[in-house]
Each structure stands twice: as structure tokens, then as C-alpha cells.
Amino acid sequence: MTNKILVTGGAGYIGSHTCIALHEIGYDIVVYDNLSNSSREAINRTSTLIGQPIEFIKGDIRDAELLRQVFASHQFFGVIHFAGLKAVGESVAKPLMYYNNNVSGTITLLEIMAEYDVKNLIFSSSATVYGDPENLPIDETSKRSCTNPYGQSKLAVEHILEDLAVSDTSWSLITLRYFNPVGAHPSGQIGEDPNDIPNNLMPYISQVAVGKLDKLNIFGNDYPTIDGTGVRDFIHVIDLAQGHVAALNYLEKQTVPNESGVAKQNSIGFLPINLGTGKGTSVLELVSAFSDISGQTVPYQFTNRRDGDIASCYASADTALTLLGWEARLSITDMCRDVWRWQRLNPNGYKKDL
């Protein structure tokens, strides 16, 4: 059996950390990315951390011809599919771009996988598919609904994967629903590198702490939570990367010898799994933890709630533990420490000069 994995979006934030985790346990990786939200510098640094050059193909998941060439020249065990656009606000302004990239792109990828009989996929979904949850912690059977085009694009792909698994039982389609990924590689060499002013909380806090931004706006202090601010399930990107390794191991374990001793993979169809810690942390708690670790004050002010935000969101992580034997190990302190190291060493992210 081949141990080669195609990693779409492998130059991005979660993809680059996952490449390291995959390499560490002996997977051969090929990164396919159009660099629309990443850089060659991320690939170079990931290669340095791995200790050998990563095989990198600059390409778009909507480019069927190039994908065909890639599948014709490699024998893949499966695909980890990170490639996608992820900014909620931008998706509201440019819905067609989001549906085209995230949904049409995934359909093209699946079509080419089918042509080459590569039927193992791990897809990057999001806790956003749960909308405003009725119950906490959120388990995988919770109702799904979305209010913005980014979330709709993730939900649409989930529906496509479900239909595909019904139509052809030889597919194994693991859908990992990430909660709030934060953190950076402990080396401080790779991490999250948002363009412009960050939309998400952790990179915003770290840019305030390093002095790039004046103060944090906390969107609402009247939620029904421990201190009135939003509660989220922050998960270290290193734990998240290990979650992908665990999912691949799970797929490999489905390969058993048939009566004639020939290795045969039992397919698992569509399988959604939450990747979260199971613990909620409020915005104020995260600010306080970051200040403690960095030794910097993080000035903030309360402003109105942000449209579309929910009060609380945290995972039931039981399925990941039961099926994959995976659970998050790193703490909020670890997350803040690693983000702070990455921020201090790379005040402009991967961009050398600004």
C-alpha cells in the first residue's frame, strides 16, 4: 500500500503544521496549493523543519487538467483537503468566489480522485456548520445550519460528500469539523499569517500585544456566559495536525486481508468528527492568559456584538477519542506561548519587509 498523501492547501496555516506531523510518522507528502492565501516562504520553512524539500506543486483545485497530471504521476493513498477560502466577511461580499473556490473546487478534486480510484479523503470542515447550537457541548449529530456563504460552502461540501458516499460505497470520506484553531509551531518558524487586520481573536490579541494594533475590540459583554464575553473551544494547531494523522491511521486500519490474503480496504462512507478540546474559554479569559504569558498588557474596549456571532461554542470530542484514539493535549497556556513566540519572531508574518 502506498503511503503517499496529496495535501491540498498544504502551504496554509493548518496544512503546513499537518505536513510536519505527517512527515514525522513516515508519510510521503505532495503539497498542492495555488498560494492564494499563503507563500513559498511557508513551504521553505516547513521543508527546513522537516529536514528535506517538500514536493510542491503550484496549482488550483479547479484545474482538472493539472490535477489529472498530478494523479497520473503519483500513486496516492488519499487526499487531505485543506484548500479553501475562509474569511467569513469576505464570503458575504464575494459569495460567488467562495462557492466557486470551495464547492466547485472540491467537486473537481473529487471527480479526478474518482477517475484515478483514490477514494480516501479527509476534508476540512468547521464548527460553523452547527450555526447557533441548541445544546452544548456540540456533538456530531447536532442540527446543522449556516448564516454566511463561507459556512454554506462547508455545509454544501458536507452534503455532497454524504451523497457521494451513498452513491458509491467505496468512498471513505472523513469530515473533520474544527473548532477554533490557534497556536503555532513551537519552533516559532511557522504560524498563522493573516493578511491585513486579523478578523479572528487570537491573531488580533497577539498583534495588540506586540504593539502593531492599539487595542482589542471585544464584541459584546452581555452574552449569557461566565463573564458576558463569547466562549469558544480554542484548539492548538499542533493537536489539530495530530487529529489528521489519527484520521489517516484510522483509514489505514480499515485495510485488512481478504480470503485470498490480498489487502482490501473496507470503506467507511461519510464520517463527520469534531476536533476540539471539549472546553470553552471566554474572550476575557484568553486575553488574560495571553497577557500573563507575554508580560504585555492587552488594552481592550467593549463594543457592540458582531453580526452573526453566537454566545458559546464548544465540542463534544468523544467521537474523536472513541474512533480515532485522539484527544487534544495542549492547554490555553501552550497556545498563547506558541503564538507569542511566533508573533515576536515574525512581527510581519512571512513577509520580510513591509
56 binds ligand NAD (CB under 6 A): no
Task: State in angstroms the smallest separation of the CB of 309 from ligand UFG.
Answer: 4
67 binds ligand NAD (CB under 6 A): no
Report what 84 binds from ligand NAD, ligand UFG, none; CB cut-off 5-8 Å by kind. ligand NAD
276 binds ligand NAD (CB under 6 A): no
- Out of 38, 128, 189, 274, point to the residue binding ligand UFG (CB under 6 A): 128
Task: State in angstroms the smallest separation of the CB of 23 from ligand UFG.
Answer: 25
61 binds ligand NAD (CB under 6 A): yes
Question: Mask of contacts with ligand UFG, 247-286, x by CB under 6 A?
Answer: ------------------------------------x---
- Out of 12, 151, 220, 243, point to the residue binding ligand NAD (CB under 6 A): 12
CB-closest chain residue to ligand NAD: 12
Question: Near ligand NAD by CB under 6 A, which window of 33-41, 88-96, 164-172, 346-354?
Answer: 33-41
Task: State in angstroms the smallest separation of the CB of 147 from ligand UFG.
Answer: 11
Exposure b/e, 200-237, CB count within 10 A at least 16 = b:
bbbbbbbbbbeeebeebebbbbebebeebbbbbbbbbb
Report what 272 binds from ligand UFG, ligand NAD, none; CB cut-off 5-8 Å by kind. none
Q: Is 320 helix (H, G, I), strand (E, B) or coil?
A: helix
The gap from C-alpha 339 to its chain's centroid, in whole angstroms, comes to: 16
Q: Which residues contact 314 (CB under 8 A, 6 or more apart)?
A: 136, 137, 138, 179, 231, 232, 233, 276, 277, 278, 279, 280
Note if 150 is an active site residue. yes
- What's the grid cell of residue 310? 453566537
Report what 309 binds from ligand UFG, ligand NAD, none; CB cut-off 5-8 Å by kind. ligand UFG
Determine the Cα–Cα distance for residues 336 and 331; give it in Å rounded to an integer: 9
Residue from 32, 150, 250, 350 carrying the catalytic annotation: 150
Determine the Cα–Cα distance for residues 83 and 161; give it in Å rounded to an integer: 16
E strands within the chain? Answer: 4-8, 28-33, 55-58, 78-81, 120-126, 172-178, 180-182, 216-219, 231-232, 234-236, 255-257, 263-265, 269-275, 281-282, 300-303, 312-313
Helix (H) or strand (E) holding 24: helix 13-24
- Out of 4, 219, 221, 334, point to the residue binding ligand UFG (CB under 6 A): 219
Q: Which residues contact 354 (CB under 8 A, 6 or more apart)?
A: 348
91 binds ligand NAD (CB under 6 A): no
Task: State in angstroms the smallest separation of the CB of 261 from ligand NAD.
Answer: 39
Question: Mask of contacts with ligand UFG, 283-312, x by CB under 6 A?
Answer: x----------------------x--x---
147 binds ligand UFG (CB under 6 A): no
β-strand pairing of 172-178 with 120-126: parallel
Q: Which residues contact 232 (CB under 8 A, 6 or more apart)?
A: 179, 180, 201, 280, 281, 283, 312, 313, 314
Catalytic residue IDs: 150
Interface with ligand NAD (CB under 6 A): 8-9, 11-15, 33-38, 60-62, 82-86, 101, 105, 124, 126, 178, 181
